[in-house]
């Protein structure tokens, strides 16, 4: 395998190989370049890093621990959880939301805009904006509002403006479109805090950098507790922020297998899935070149996942690059496997995972059976299942 130099990616135009970039109008490119310049200017300053690290420790509760499970591997490989679900607001999203809110304030922006699917990004951003002291507006599909009612309530309590999106599939992709249209009304004064490693440059790079704290911690913690690196590292992939945050620290460790788990939904042979890297084609979406699911006219398909945070027709450009390099393997888990993993982890380990994270748990439980007891799997448990508990209980008749 060619020696990876991913720490230097993307290039100056925002490309990871042939993926990424800025597929945007010239006037918006100037705004994106301003954001990149501001980010590059402050990212390495002691003042910014010290403030961010202080918030991670004293506000978020970092470092999040690694937990060794004892009952879900069925005699196979040992399974460990990186407990991002224990963060303030209940997921990994707070990591980049704090960074984006601090950057927006530094740039003198008056309002932060974003989309959300499962609501975790929305809650985290509303939390960060309340703390930093800047106006926040979140766009969310009506179907996701119904599914994720607890997070909707939290966002309102935190003081953000919640905008229901009724167009199209009324889910994440449409929320992205709606939020971006609002952003274009005044990109000089508004800041669009993208919720994953997607969109035009510099967001895939910037969100990755903020999320890389997950992998840095996990690598150090695993070496400290086990005296070696994990054999396999896995995470769910929608847009891909939690996965890239974990994978980044292990990219140069060629003996560590990296696996991203996409939603197969109701089946790869049905239209009801969001398995972008498994079934997608190369093309433009939301300001970037990436693998995406599209129809014969090149329009994004109305994708589906039982996990609201994964039903996106594209994926981060760095994931696309890693797929083509062969450094990361991308697999799928369907709705039933997800639900089974959700209930198994809850009832055997006392940890209720987010439906998004349960996709990675499902894969780990399946692959562990074919591995030896002295081998190890590390899962990024990217969020907790409070938001999904009522939905799952209704679906399973509990």
- Residues classed as catalytic: 93, 115, 382
Chain mean position to CA 233: 15
Cβ neighbors of 323 (< 8 A, separation 6 or more) are 277, 291, 330
Cα distances (angstroms) measured from residue 176 to each of 72, 199, 313 = 36, 10, 11
Question: 156-182 as b/e, with b when 16 or more CB fall inside 10 Å?
Answer: eebebebeebeeebbbbbbbbbbbbee
**How many CB atoms neighbour CB 267 within 10 A?**
14
Q: Do 322 and 350 meet the contact criterion of CB atoms below 8 Å apart?
A: no
* Runs of H (alpha helix) within 142-300: 142-147, 149-157, 172-183, 203-226, 241-247, 276-279
Residue 104 half-sphere exposure, CB side, CA atoms within 13 Å? 31
What's the chain's length in residues?
398
Structure tokens at 340: 């089974």
**How many CB atoms neighbour CB 27 within 10 A?**
10
């Amino acid at each position: 395998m060619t020696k990876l130099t991913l720490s230097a990616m993307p290039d100056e135009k925002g490309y990871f190989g042939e993926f990424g970039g800025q597929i945007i109008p010239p006037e918006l490119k100037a705004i994106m370049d301003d954001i990149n310049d501001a980010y590059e200017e402050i990212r390495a300053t002691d003042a910014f890093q010290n403030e961010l690290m202080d918030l991670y420790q004293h506000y978020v509760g970092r470092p999040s621990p690694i937990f060794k499970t004892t009952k879900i591997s069925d005699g196979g490989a040992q399974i460990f959880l990186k407990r991002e679900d224990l963060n303030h607001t209940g997921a990994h999203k707070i990591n980049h939301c704090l960074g984006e809110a601090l950057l927006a304030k530094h740039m003198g922006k008056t309002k932060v805009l974003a989309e959300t699917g499962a609501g975790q990004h929305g809650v985290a951003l509303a939390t960060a904006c309340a703390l930093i002291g800047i106006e926040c507006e979140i766009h969310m599909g009506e179907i996701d509002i119904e599914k994720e009612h607890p997070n909707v309530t939290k966002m309102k309590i935190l003081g953000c403006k919640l905008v229901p999106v009724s167009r199209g599939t009324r889910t994440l992709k449409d929320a992205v479109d709606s939020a971006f249209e609002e952003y274009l009304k005044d990109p000089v004064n508004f800041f669009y805090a993208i919720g994953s490693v997607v969109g035009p440059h510099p967001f895939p790079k910037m969100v990755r950098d903020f999320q890389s704290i997950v992998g840095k911690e996990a690598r150090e913690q695993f070496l400290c507790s086990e005296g070696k690196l994990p054999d396999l590292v896995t995470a769910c992939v929608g847009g891909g922020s939690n996965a890239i945050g974990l994978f980044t620290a292990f990219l140069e460790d060629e003996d560590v297998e990296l696996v991203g788990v996409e939603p197969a939904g109701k089946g790869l042979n049905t239209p009801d899935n969001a398995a972008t890297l498994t079934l997608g084609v190369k093309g433009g979406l939301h300001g970037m070149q990436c693998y995406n699911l599209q129809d014969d006219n090149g329009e994004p398909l109305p994708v589906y996942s039982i996990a609201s945070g994964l039903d996106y027709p594209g994926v981060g450009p760095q994931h696309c690059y890693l797929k083509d390099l062969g450094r990361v393997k991308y697999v799928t888990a369907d709705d039933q496997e997800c639900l089974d993993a959700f209930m198994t982890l809850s009832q055997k380990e006392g940890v209720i995972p987010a439906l998004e994270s349960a996709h990675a748990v499902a894969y780990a439980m399946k692959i562990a059976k074919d591995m030896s007891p002295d081998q190890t799997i590390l899962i990024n448990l990217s969020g907790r299942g409070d938001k999904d508990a009522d939905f799952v209980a209704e679906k399973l008749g509990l």
